[in-house]
Amino acid sequence: MKLLTVPEASQYLRISVHTLNVWRNKKRGPEFVTKDKLIAYSKKSLDNFLEKTKG
């Protein structure tokens, strides 16, 4: 499974890196994984988040 970095994920979601970081800190954004202190997102978790939040 390919994981996206925070900048890649923010670009995919069309939001700023800052917004994605705030969402993550408030536990409001898409699911993420950490590996060796790096934060990453799967495309599937981003797609699930978009599906849940589309209005």
pLDDT one-digit tens code per residue, 17-28: 999 999 999 999
Total domain count for the chain? 1
Please report whether residue 11 resides in a domain. yes
Cα gap 9→1, rounded to integer Å: 14
Please report whether residue 55 resides in a domain. no
The pLDDT tens digits of the residues spanning 2-55 come to 899 999 999 999 999 999 999 999 999 999 999 899 999 999 999 999 999 986
Residue 41 burial (CB count, 10 A): 24
Please report whether residue 17 resides in a domain. yes
Give the global pTM: 0.90
The answer for 54, left when phi > 0, alpha when psi is -120 to 50, beta otherwise, is beta
Give the position of tokens 């670009």. Answer: 11
